[in-house]
Amino acid sequence: MTVRTRALITAPRSPVAAAQASIAADAATNDPAIWITRVPDGDFLAEAAALEQEGQRGRPLWGMVVAIKDNIDVAGLPTTAGCPDYAYTPAHSAPAVQRLRDAGALVLGKTNLDQFATGLVGVRSPYGVPRNVFSAAHVPGGSSSGSAVAVAAGIVDAALGTDTAGSGRVPAAFGNIVGLKPTIGSTPATGMVPACRSVDTISVFARDVGTALAVQRVIAGYDATDPYSRALPPGYLRSPALPPGTRVAVGDVAALCAHEVARLYDRATSLFASETVDVAPFLALARLLYDGPWVAERTAALREVVTDRPEIMHPVTRAIVAGGLERRTVDAFDAFHRLAEVRRLASELFTRHDALLLPTAPFCPTLADLAADPIGPNSRLGTFTNFVNLCDMAAIAVPAGFGADGLPVGVTVLGPAWSEGRLAAIAGHIHAAFAEGVSPLEPDPLEAGETALFCIGAHMSGLPLNGQVTGLGGRFLRAATTRPEYRLHALGPRPGLARATPGAAITGEVWALPTTAIGALLAQVPPPLGFGTVALEDGPCLGFLAEAAALEGTTDITAHGGWRAWLAAKETA
């Protein structure tokens, strides 16, 4: 099947031309099941013309065409959540949608979904099943089926989905696109029909990591009307360069996956210096999302429908959500205690690794599989996704190539809350490695509110104290070398750098930190180390320096040219 693609947005373009391209791509795709409510062509073109007449006015998404999952409010368009008898027409858009429009984006319509966002398959909807663009015999993935297919088919540049158990990631894998699952509470959930309010989030689909990140930067932000909204740390969505010492944890999961998924997952892990870790506790927690108290949370979100109007629901959805009425509080506390244990394991894992890399889905079921068993395949699809929101992780699902069967395979890069920017560099590297015409994500330049810091020792990427830098919002910018005016000494587990004559050039790394975090990092640096101005080859930079007097009697390692080379020499000695 030929999949239509559109050029990625690299510069402002005509909103009218963008609207016309979307209308043409939608007509060529000819899949009415993508949409629940589609803005009429004439109205859409008129809105684009008005936007073009206004001009860009600094709006970052000017001319971008987007689709919105139909459990998120768009003013004037019905919100159905995939259930016709539940429909209402909101007077106001959800904050995330309004932020898109304020940034110059054009909303083409509301997309299909597994009813009430309950499912990972994309077939539980009275509005039909959007076609998987690579195989009409296979499911499109859900619950954000229409949003993902609209992006995969080249109809829109980006789309909003939602994600509770993987709904923003699984359909991304099946559509060979990117799915950004942000930190819970980073994007307002106001105006979104809840599934599990405590672990829901609006998510972003796009065809590359950079576009997904650009959309997330627009829609993220604290909202006082959302009780789960959280204040955003400064700079967390700024993307770094890929650090040379990136540490990626991986799982021994081949036995859980289809052959081609396992093969392409292994290929993706080979891009990094990876370490296999025990992911069994995470996978066990994943099973609790549909076999624990969070089913009752889904029931609470739809209490009135379940108790008073159950006949309006899709039969499979009704069976799942009604099951929450039978859950016991005593079992809920057992689950909450287990969750606390696994969250602690996740926290410890991310002190040793920059990310956890897993397959996005273990296989892609067929429509026939779901007809024969509406529950089993869906449950299996959540193997690597269900635990993520429970553990307060951020995630980016990214294409990892095509199997011999012609189906795309995706992998997901996972990190702690507020790690989206750092994850983007890793995800972009994977995408560029296996997709023709995709370039690695360019790092964002230093911005106001950030300070560049030259690191020469254990604070560099992949080394023991790097977590002190990343934990304060630091991001890697580049490798760098001093002017030949310094000596480097070994001070036990850390080096000391001091200006000296004769001197030599010393290698290190430049990291960007929020300026407000510099003091907090300095407080963790013991004497005789401190910060001062270091003369790099390309200009001065704040960096680690040592008191010259304190270096007397220590081992001079200048001849090695840097701390990494010294560590390597020690290992081989």
Q: Which of 22, 125, 135, 143 is catalytic?
A: 143
Once rounded to an integer, what is the mean pLDDT over residues 180-202?
A: 96
- Show me where the domains of the chain are located: 32-39+60-434, 450-572
Known catalytic residue at 22: no
Annotated active-site residue 125? The verdict is: no
Amino acid letter, 560? H
| Whether the predicted pLDDT of 268 surpasses 50 | yes
Q: Which long-range contacts does 365-368 make (Cβ < 8 Å, 24+ apart)?
A: 365/121, 365/138, 365/139, 366/137, 366/138, 366/139, 367/123, 367/129, 367/137, 367/138, 367/139, 368/137
Find out whether 61 and 12 touch, Cβ atoms under 8 Å. no
Determine what percent of the chain is predicted with pLDDT higher than 70.
98
pLDDT at 329: 86
Q: pLDDT, tens digit, for every residue of 128-168? A: 999 999 999 999 999 999 999 999 999 999 999 999 999 99
DSSP string, 166-227: STTTHHHHHHTSEEEEPPTTSS--TTB--SSTTT-EEEEEESSHHHHHHHHHHH----TT-T
- Which of 72-76, 105-109, 305-309, 403-407 is the least confident region? 305-309
pLDDT of residue 5: 40
Q: What percent of the chain has pLDDT over 90?
A: 86
Residue 570 known to be catalytic: no
Q: Does the model's pTM come out above 0.85? A: yes
Is 11's pLDDT higher than 80? no
> What class has domain 450-572?
alpha beta
Q: Is the pLDDT of residue 225 over 90?
A: yes
What lies within 8 Å, CB to CB, of 396 at 6+ separation is: 178, 179, 180, 181, 209, 212, 412, 413, 420, 423, 424, 426, 427
The larger pLDDT score, comparing residue 176 to residue 471, is at 176
Q: Looking at residue 324, what is its pLDDT?
A: 84
The pLDDT, as a whole number, for residue 98 is 98
Using the predicted structure, report yes or no on whether residue 434 has a pLDDT greater than 70.
Answer: yes
Q: What is the pLDDT of residues 80-133, one digit of tens each?
A: 999 999 999 999 999 999 999 999 999 999 999 999 999 999 999 999 999 999
Is residue 7's pLDDT more than 80? no
- The CATH number fitting domain 32-39+60-434, selected from 3.90.1300.10, 2.40.10.10, 1.20.210.10, 3.40.630.30: 3.90.1300.10
Give the pLDDT score at 12: 59
Q: Pick the catalytic residue from 167, 203, 239, 274.
A: 167
Average pLDDT over residues 383-409: 97
For residue 74, give every residue at least 6 positions away whose Cβ sits within 8 Å of its Cβ, in sequence order, or none.
68, 90, 93, 94, 97, 107, 110
